[in-house]
Chain A
Amino acid sequence: MTAVLPGAFTDALTRHGDRVAVTDPDTSLSYAELAARARAAADRLATYDVAGRPLRVGLYATNSTDYVVAYLAALYAGAVPFLADSAFGPFELSRIAEDCGLDLLIHAPDAAVEQVTEELLADADEFGSLKVSRVRRTDAPPPPLLPDTEVCRFTSGSTGRPNCIEFSGPAVLAAARNWARGTGLSAEDRIACLAALSNGLAFNTSLLAAFLPGASLHLSRGLPTASRIVRLLESTGATRLVAFPALYESIVRRSSTGGFTGVRAAISSGAPLRDSVREEFTRLTGVPVHNYYGVAEAGPLTYAVDGDGGGLGTPLPGVEVIADEQGIRVRSESMGSRYLNAPGVFEERVDDQGRYRTGDQGHLLDGVLHLTGRTGRLVNVGGRKIDPIEITEVLREAAGVLDAVAFEAENQHGDTVLAAVVAVEPGLTAQLLRTHCSAVLPSFKVPWVFHLVDEIPVNSIGKPSVERLRRLLADARSN
């Protein structure tokens, strides 16, 4: 089957040759330079080819021009890139490598990849500051990919095993085209992207979507604090800001206003942005915040054109949204195909009309989507979905733990967090539990707070009483 994405990128990079394509604090690449570097890196990848099937290349790094080069190189080499969240720890990375049959891993020099790699390929200079390592082989053959799969991305999963979503080339291209069309992205746009390119928000709004019309993509590194963002905006003259709610909160905390003169739109996704933060951000900067709703499995779905904070906007081109008693179901041109490493799970979430059950609840008002909650048990913490059952099981494995319950709670700002109430033997401390969790979970899955008790409170049928657990937590905090 002929791949779609290499041609789409080649066409875009050729059309916009001398324009700036992508920058980071150290490097600026025009479209022509990006094409040349990606081709050279693709030639290098081709020398590592495996017989009889496309090479599987894991990308495990933070944003940089080198990251974009590596992504394009994998596509140009006929390989399948697997975009792993750099916040995944060694535990999850090893599962990804094993589950997905990765052949190579492209990573930062100081990334903790020893568990999954066996050889650093020293001749791969074409990848700039990133390194290429051969992944340790296992006896099991790699699970077969669908014939039209061109990119794989991950959700955080619910069993400690990130779910690997297979995307066809046409789905990735449709996501980019529909986003560019639906949001009016043009060659004059300069996108400051503070979200990780492995994440759906950035992947769908700022990578191919930026390159199709000839816009430029500007990347930052490290924590997106307000001062860092202002510097990025000032140095790039950005017209769009793509970020998570935490960044908008940082700008409001710092009362930062510099750099926003040219910004026409700020886009927020992941976790809900509090109205007070949205209003204060717009008051400080004069820039409207446009909500975006998307799910990893179905791509970008809605966009709030007016940015007035009233809901998540209307469906993007090619997207159908149903909101009823079954929750929010969607059908889009950018749907994933399945989970490579969880057979049947994705398919179970698709109804007989081909609509994906998002797990969110909400309603459409005059065509505008409003979220009201979730139908499932997953907790959305800062845009990442976490299964409390997984965390509960990890806690129960700790020495000295008698029982545990992890559940959704709110911090003092009203943000959703994961809390844990744990019944323990004498001597076990919250710090020991935190250390236990940190050893086997990525940092974003470690509960925000641990409350230790002698016994988990239960309701009349013997199940943990979440209401009483929340009260326990509230009492502990007020004391």
Chain B
Amino acid sequence: MDNSSLHTKILDLAIAAGDGSFTSRELAEAGYSLRAVSFSSLSYMRLIDSIENELGVYLDPEVDAEHYETIDSVAALVVASGVGADA
């Protein structure tokens, strides 16, 4: 999965985890900042679960809290875990 695909995948998972509380357009307008769209703790739980389910990566939100603020930083965390970007 290249960087762009991974970004899109994380974006899709984040939108799903938000459970309709914001749209992809709103997230884009917020600079893809999850904090800016008030991503709730429940949404973070869903996102972490779905990343683990679909990408096989366990992310620990306490250890890496600062990496959960944007779609890009979450994607970078996934890459750092050895999954994803091959381009």
Interface on A for B, CB 8 Å cutoff?
221-228, 246, 250, 253-254, 382, 411-413, 417, 429-431, 434-435, 437-438, 443-444, 446, 448-449, 477
Contact = CB atoms under 8 A, between A and B. Distances in A.
B29 A444 contact: no
Given A430-B26, A431-B26, A431-B29, A444 B49 contact: no
Contact of A254 (B21, B40, B53): B53
Nearest to A447: B21
A65 B58 CA distance: 25
A434 B21 CA distance: 11
Interface string B44-75: 11101110110000101110010000000000
Given A411-B20, A430-B26, A431-B26, A225 B49 contact: yes
Nearest to A411: B19
Given A430-B26, A449-B20, A222 B49 contact: no
Interface residues of B, number: 26
B80 interface: no
Nearest to B30: A431
A61 to B, nearest CB: 14
Given A225-B61, A411-B20, A431-B26, A246 B42 contact: yes
A412 B52 CA distance: 22
B67 to A, nearest CB: 13
Nearest to A477: B20
Contacts of A223: 41, 44-45, 48, 61-62
A227 B45 contact: no
B1 interface: no
A360 to B, nearest CB: 22
B40 A431 contact: no
Contact of B36 (A411, A413, A431, A477): A431
B44 to A, nearest CB: 6
Contacts of A448: 19-21, 40
A438 B36 CA distance: 9
From A413, A437, A449, name the one whose CB has the most chain B CB atoms within 10 angstroms. A449
A224 B45 contact: yes
Contacts of B44: 223
Contacts of B50: 253
Nearest to A251: B49
A411 B37 CA distance: 17
